[in-house]
Amino acid sequence: MAIKQLTETIINQIAAGEVIERPASVVKELVENAIDAGATRIDIVTAGGGKNLIRVSDNGSGIPSDELTLAVARHCTSKLTDNVHDIRALGFRGEALPSIGSVSRLSVKSRIAEADSGFEINVHGGRLEGPRPTPMNGGTIAEVRDLFFATPARLKFMKTDRAEASAISDVVKRVAIAFPHIRFSIAGSDRTPLDLAATGTGSTGMLERISQVLGKEFPENAIAIDAMRDGVRLSGFAGIPAFNRANSLQQFAYVNGRPVRDKQIWGAIRGAFADVISRDRHPVVVLFLNLDPALVDVNVHPAKADVRFRDPGLVRGLIVGAIREALGQSGIRAATSGAEAMLNSFRLGGVEPIRPAAAQRWQGAAAVNQNYNVQQSPYRPFAMEPAARHGGEGFAETVQAFLYDGATALAADTRAGMAEAPQELLSAPLGAARAQIHANYIVSQTEDSLVIVDQHAAHERLVYEALKNALHSKSLPAQMLLIPEIVDLPEEDVGRLVAHAETLARFGLGIESFGPGAIAVRETPSMLGEIDTQKLIRDLADEIAEHDTSDGLKAILNHVAATMACHGSVRAGRRLKPDEMNALLRQMEETPGSGTCNHGRPTYIELKLTDIERLFGRR
Ligand code: ADP
Ligand code: MG
């Protein structure tokens, strides 16, 4: 085939392939244009998840009638002079309107303050009409109908109206956080309306807008961040570790006011929270980076959500340092790091054994302490009678009595509480349960080791496997609630949950929508026992939101099972009888993958007798 120049419409459609991925991308571009035009009020109307209609009206500067044709032409922009490294507006590529016009029926109406009337221009699948006069108030109304009618292949990739409508809300909320002085509203037959009143400028206005979007709980559970390094300013809020979520949708980052989804920034946030949040949970954060536009390249991708920093190390260090410092100041420390180090030294045998000479010295010191009185010792054996029984003969006899009575008491205790471990239990991989300590750890004994089981983690894994099994056979039994529990949720979450109601019912979780902003829970899976229904529903909504789009039904089922398992597990704090402990150990041995919990943490650790002997300097 001979080489030919592509037509303008084809060129625009190719560009649209990158810039306009789905209805939410159109809304993002149109809202950015309105913000760049200095609007203080932006109203959005959608229908059919934005596929049938998107209308964005603003009270910004408007477009002069003689520039309307340019506005919808490719590579025409009012926002860039001749320096592509000095970008101060959200737009700069002059690509959005022509791209949208090439794949939809676009109408742009606009009126500047000085004009007596507005003007309208239409672009239908790349075909231009107008401009012609039209009555309107000052500002701009961009209307997009039948998105992707000109590129049916793309239309096939659209999700349900509900999913697209909620993606639009997400885009608007994300951008709204950075512009609290602008009032945003979204309405339409495909949604319940959202109205974000202008909250003013400054940090109070910002905080108020953040509460509008993330809920009032966030500021109550967040720490303000304000740090500066080498001309880069970082401000915003970091949620405390306990206020974590099941996905990262609640992480908002802005570079010079532009919402970005940037891997480096996510990585830095993850790093900052690494030892205070488990790997499968995500903190809630709102971060604003402000720096000289010349130090950051936003021209990385047509959608302008990726950025490249001149000095990525500086930005990462700033984010990690500032968040850690904020968390530290508020008294939340990396409580796990000390325990981790100790565990390592157990595993690696890194503890310096007590040298025999030192041990000797210690014994000697005790032996000469003639004033020692075992009766006064907090360590005195419980079964010990007053010294009178031994005639109060002195230290040596007292110690003798201590050893003797102590041993008897312990032996008696063992007999009462736990039978001598039968050989077949000792030779099982996880051994015979000997005790439960701190109401969560089962200590068991095998022929040649000591095993410590995290009963919560282990049980969670077992419930998870049982739930997964149940999926392949029949539905799980459910337990009716006497009074349905009502859970208030954002409208998108309600939609997502209701869409999966049938799936959830197979697990024994009976839900239905209770108005646009709430879910009524009628049944819960019997297997889970007493659960925090509110939290379960919220976590499930998060899981579904995260995996709905990409992973298909099977993955969602697994995630739902994992979330339920976590809620239904034997929580730390429940005392188990010896039989129950042994039953748990045997179940673990039979269940594939039971060595780690659903979050990838170990469910048990094993200390070989040889390791123990090394710790005591016997080897
Ligand atoms: P870009 O935003 O990258 O400049 P667009 O294709 O989105 O490119 O818009 C082209 C031009 O049309 C803008 O540079 C701007 O001058 C004008 N324009 C678009 N939308 C609006 C609006 N809502 N208000 C005022 N001017 C607008
Ligand atoms: Mg634009």
Residue where one domain finishes, among candidates 166, 196, 226: 196
Distance CA 143, CA 405 (A): 89
> Residue 600's pLDDT is what?
56
Residue 399 pLDDT more than 70? no
| Ligand closest to the CA atom of residue 143 | 1
Please return the burial class of 584, using the count of CB atoms within 10 Å of its CB with bins 0-12, 13-18 and 19+.
buried
- Which residues lie near ion ligand 2 (Cβ < 5 Å)? 33, 91, 96
Residue 407 resides in a domain: no
Boundary-marking domain end, from 308, 330, 352: 330
Instruction: Look at residue 377 and tell me if it is in a domain.
Output: no
Asked if pLDDT for residue 529 goes beyond 50, the answer is yes
pLDDT digits (tens, 9 = 90+) for 440-463: 899 999 888 888 888 888 877 777
CA 97 to ligand 2 center in whole angstroms: 7
What pLDDT was estimated at residue 454? 86
Same domain (yes/no): 607, 590 = yes
Reported confidence tier of residue 370, pLDDT bands at 50, 70, 90: very low
Residue 479 has pLDDT above 90, yes or no: no
User: Counting ligands in written order, which one lies closest to the CA of residue 56?
Assistant: 1
Q: Same domain, yes or no, for 143 and 222?
A: no
Is residue 299 situated within a structural domain? yes
Tell me, yes or no, whether 585 and 443 share the same domain: yes
- Tell me what pLDDT residue 187 has: 96
Residues 71 and 208 in one domain: no
Please give the tally of structural domains in the chain.
Answer: 3
Which of 100-104, 527-531, 569-573, 607-611 shows the lowest mean pLDDT across its residues? 569-573
Of 18, 36, 66, the one to substitute when testing ligand 1's pocket (max ligand atoms within 8 A of C-beta) is: 36
Query: Does residue 219 carry a pLDDT above 50?
Result: yes
Here the tokens at position 277 are 């949040």
For residue 577, what pLDDT is reported? 81
- 142 Cα nearest atom in ligand 1: 23
Reported confidence tier of residue 428, pLDDT bands at 50, 70, 90: confident
Residue 296 backbone phi and psi in degrees, to 5: -145, 140
Nearest residue (by CA) to ligand 1, atom 19, is 33
Among the listed residues 250, 260, 247, the one whose alpha carbon sits nearest the alpha carbon of residue 284: 250
- Asked if residue 137 and residue 72 are part of one domain, the reply reads yes
Confidence grade of residue 574 (pLDDT, cut at 50, 70, 90) = low
Contact residues of ligand 1, CB 6 A cut-off: 29, 33-34, 37, 58, 60-63, 71, 77-79, 91-97, 140
State the average pLDDT for the chain: 78
Look at 402 and 7; give whichever has higher pLDDT: 7
Judge whether residue 32 has pLDDT over 90.
yes
The yes-or-no verdict on residue 472 having pLDDT over 90 is no
> Is the pLDDT score of 396 beyond 70?
no
pLDDT at 31: 97
Domain annotation covers residue 493: yes
CATH number for the domain including 162?
A: 3.30.565.10
Mutating to test ligand 1, I would choose from 56, 58, 78, 120 the residue with most ligand atoms within 8 A of its C-beta, which is 78
Residue with CA nearest ligand 1 atom 17: 71
Any domain includes 409: no
**Mean pLDDT within 470-488:** 80
Domain boundary pick from 168, 196, 224: 196
Of 61 and 222, more confident? 61
pLDDT at 176: 96
Sheet containing 441-445, strands listed edge to edge, beginning at the edge strand earlier in sequence: 432-437, 441-445, 449-454, 604-608
The residue to mutate among 19, 28, 29, 33, having the most atoms of ligand 1 within 8 angstroms of its beta carbon, is 33
Residue 365, in any domain of the structure: no
User: Measured between alpha carbons, how far is 516 from 325 in angstroms, rounded to an integer?
Assistant: 40
Q: Has this prediction a pTM greater than 0.75?
A: no
pLDDT digits (tens, 9 = 90+) for 557-568: 777 777 777 776
Q: Which amino acid is at 379?
A: Y
User: Quick one: 160 and 262 in the same domain?
Assistant: no
Domain match, 493 and 519 both: yes
> Which residue has the least CA distance to atom 2 on ligand 1?
91
What pLDDT is recorded for position 398?
35
Say how many Å lie between the CA of residue 71 and the centre of ligand 1: 6
Q: Are residues 177 and 255 in the same domain?
A: no
> Residue 113 sits in which domain range?
8-196
**What pLDDT, on the 0 to 100 scale, is given for residue 551?**
56
12, 43: one domain: yes
| Highest averaged pLDDT of the listed ranges 98-107, 214-223, 364-373, 524-533 | 98-107
List, in order, residues 6 or more apart from 251 with CB less than 8 Å away.
266, 269, 282, 283, 284, 285
Identify whether residues 39 and 161 lie together within a single domain.
Answer: yes
What is the distance in A from the centroid of ligand 2 to the CA of 346? 59
Q: pLDDT tens, 72-90?
A: 888 888 887 777 677 778 8
CA dist 98 and 11 (Å) reads 10
Same domain? For 445 and 551 the reply is yes
Residue 382 lies in a domain: no
The reply to whether 119 falls in a domain is: yes
